[in-house]
């Protein structure tokens, strides 16, 4: 990834890189999404991985102790796993203290704050290292104004949470850059912030300032500049729709891309909430998004087809594209469908 | 007002009552809305008022020193004024310290935290009194589940912010109680919390937990019990819609009442944002609200007609009621239209 443009420093201070990726004692791959995201999108920023249990999941990076990682140039240990409660279990403390004592900062995107753990606070003070919680928003966020800003913006939205918005926007930002378009990826979640080195942890912002935080994340820019903004949640999620709406209003996107995972039938973890249709998600994002950008439009659909074979995925996406009258592509598989999605988003067609 | 039911203690700890209402040195009545709200809706909880300047506004309560108020049974001094920045000016400190030394707790709904002022912290420690910031949400808020809860709920929504949702819901809760319906007023803002002695400061909750906070505010209840929930913001407000949506989803209201101030043409302070029509507000609240309560319906419209004569108001409300096919009433003026609104909300018609 390119270095973030300077104003990102006003959002989250740039993180000390490169990283040693910590996998804790987690045995469930689903909990190691941050580690996998770092491996996939910031491989050159990861010197290795470290865990504190022999059967912990692996991100396939070279195994290293904190001291070895420090010697290899690492500046921070990044917590690459999350457990359901977002807490820091007792079983990790020895390993985290070891990292601090080895001269590494600790970067965490968990709900629990590093500063709240006395053993870490003490070790950080002793070693002169920093405890960095990327979920802690900056203190100077203003209430949103709704003022139209210069430059262009793309936002990922979803039929649900946790189905590929981050990967989709990282791939779209990369494709824009490959077309030599002046582009910034704007991270809105902890993994995205770790990957890009800056951003705004939208789900940790106080509700009154949610739209204002999104305005701050994508400031005025050159007319031909694109901010590609990572999405969060779904307007159809009974817990997280407030995050999605504040992000939509504050981002005032010119274009949005609907992210969807074929086969998902209900909101993740909530069997009583059926997944909305793609058409419903398009319509509702236009209805609500036009409050701050009357010209908002859908650029296409990003499918997460990781559960399907290449042939199945291609056939499904061709069928859905025809049905919806919009490009449908898997940003990870790339190919002509993805090129069509990029072209549609840019408005060249 | 009735005492809140015990579970309110899990939300905001019950405030020590009765109150001495503090007016500071404020000379602008518009800044004393909290004091006036307490006088109008919790008169029996206010033993008197106190100010620290001879020309300060009055809420018409008996003037008392903190010592006199303490002798009359007061347990807290409540800050009843807010200045534009939400700060606690230097000029109030002597009076607030005097109150603490007289044995009163201090209750504040300002943005600035009482704990951050060393003189107050010291005086509170010395006197054994508490500094209570009602804008600080509890720490144990969960992510929303969307689970349907027992009991019935009414939520105020709005064409804009600051047009009478608190007064409307207080009046509706009072009317429900007069009909001997088991009812709790559920406060979502600082003044409402002071009036009812508990609640949830929805605009101060972290976005990820916004809907969860609303779920916590109106827990399972008896089938014939009503929670009457104070509204916040508007789905059409470019800064605060996230608060309104989280509150709507988490409240899962059976009935909502649209609050509106006739004559308002644009969102308060944002001339580029025209006020939505009442019909738009009804439609959008149903569209979004049915996610967590498919049976959601509009019970009617509450007008704030404080700018109109009684005749003008009555004629306008009759006309609007006919046009919309729903009861339209001013909850402060009461009368037959308001009784029709109550009946419609209760679903007796």
ipTM of the complex: 0.92
pLDDT for A288-315, tens place per residue? 999 999 999 999 999 999 999 999 999 9
Best of A149, A242, A281 to mutate (most B CBs within 10 Å, chain B): A242
Q: Is A208 on the interface with B (CB under 8 A)?
A: yes
Mean pLDDT, contiguous 10-residue spans, chain A (349 residues): 39 81 93 92 95 95 98 97 86 97 96 93 97 90 95 98 95 97 95 92 95 96 97 98 98 98 96 97 98 98 97 98 98 96 87
Q: Is B238 on the interface with A (CB under 8 A)?
A: yes
- Those residues whose C-beta lies under 8 Å from the C-beta of residue B315, and which sit 6 or more positions away, are none
Q: Minimal Cα–Cα distance from B9 to chain A, Å?
A: 23
SS3 A75: coil
Task: Kindly report the pTM of this predicted structure.
Answer: 0.92
Q: Minimal Cα–Cα distance from B283 to chain A, Å?
A: 11
What does the alpha-carbon distance between residue A297 and residue A291 come to, in Å, rounded to a whole number? Answer: 13
Q: Is A210 on the interface with B (CB under 8 A)?
A: yes
Q: What is the largest CA-CA distance in chain B?
A: 62
- From the list A203, A207, A288, the residue facing B243 with the nearest CB is A207
Residue B140 confidence class, pLDDT cut points 50, 70, 90: confident
HSE at residue B58, side-chain half, CA atoms within 13 A, is 8
- A146 contacts in B (CB within 8 Å)? 238-239, 270, 272-273
Alpha-helix runs per DSSP H in B218-328: 241-251, 278-289, 310-324
What does the alpha-carbon distance between residue B295 and residue B289 come to, in Å, rounded to a whole number? Answer: 9
- Those residues whose C-beta lies under 8 Å from the C-beta of residue B88, and which sit 6 or more positions away, are B79, B96, B108, B110, B112, B114, B117
- B238 contacts in A (CB within 8 Å)? 144-146, 211, 249, 291-292
What does the alpha-carbon distance between residue B7 and residue B4 come to, in Å, rounded to a whole number? Answer: 8
Residue ranges and CATH numbers for the domains of chain A are 17-129 (3.40.50.720), 152-346 (3.40.50.300)
Please name the residue that has the structure tokens 């000029």. Answer: B91
Angle subtended at Cα A123 by Cα A117 and Cα A126, rounded to the nearest 5 degrees? 140
What does the pLDDT read at residue B102?
98
The answer to whether the CB atoms of B211 and A288 lie below 8 A apart is: no
pLDDT for B223-234, tens place per residue? 999 999 999 999
**Chain A to chain B Cβ contacts (< 8 Å):** 113
- A245 contacts in B (CB within 8 Å)? 241-242, 245
- Those residues whose C-beta lies under 8 Å from the C-beta of residue B178, and which sit 6 or more positions away, are none
């Amino acid at each position: 990834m390119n270095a973030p443009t300077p104003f990102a420093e006003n959002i989250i201070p740039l993180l000390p890189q490169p990283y040693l990726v910590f996998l804790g004692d987690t045995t469930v791959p689903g909990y190691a999404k941050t580690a996998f995201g770092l491996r996939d999108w910031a491989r050159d920023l990861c010197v290795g991985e470290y865990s504190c249990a022999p059967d912990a999941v692996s991100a396939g990076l070279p195994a290293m102790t904190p001291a070895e990682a420090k010697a290899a140039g690492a500046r921070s240990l990044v917590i690459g796993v999350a457990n359901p409660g977002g807490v820091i279990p007792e079983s990790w403390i020895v390993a985290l203290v070891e990292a601090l004592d080895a001269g590494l900062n600790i970067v965490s995107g968990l709900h629990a704050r590093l500063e709240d753990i006395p053993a870490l606070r003490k070790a950080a003070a002793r070693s002169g290292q920093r405890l960095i919680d990327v979920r802690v928003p900056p203190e100077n966020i203003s209430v949103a104004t709704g003022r139209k800003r210069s430059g262009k913006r793309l936002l990922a939205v979803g039929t649900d949470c946790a189905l590929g918005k981050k990967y989709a926007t990282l791939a779209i930002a990369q494709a824009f850059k490959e077309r030599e378009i002046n582009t910034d990826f704007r991270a809105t979640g902890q993994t995205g912030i770790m990957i890009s080195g800056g951003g705004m942890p939208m789900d940790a912002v106080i509700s009154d300032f949610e739209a204002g935080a999104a305005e701050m994340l994508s400031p005025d820019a050159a007319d031909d500049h694109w901010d590609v903004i990572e999405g969060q949640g779904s307007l159809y999620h009974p817990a997280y729709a407030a995050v999605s709406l504040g992000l939509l209003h504050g981002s005032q996107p010119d274009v949005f891309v609907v992210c969807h995972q074929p086969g998902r039938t209900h909101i993740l973890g909530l069997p009583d909430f059926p997944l909305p249709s793609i058409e419903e998600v398009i319509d509702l994002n236009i209805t609500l998004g036009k409050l701050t950008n009357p010209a908002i439009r859908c650029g296409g659909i990003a499918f997460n087809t990781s559960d399907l074979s290449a042939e199945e995925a291609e056939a499904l996406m061709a069928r859905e594209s025809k049905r919806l009258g919009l490009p449908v592509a898997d940003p990870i598989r790339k190919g002509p469908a993805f090129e069509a999605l990029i072209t549609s988003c840019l408005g060249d067609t």
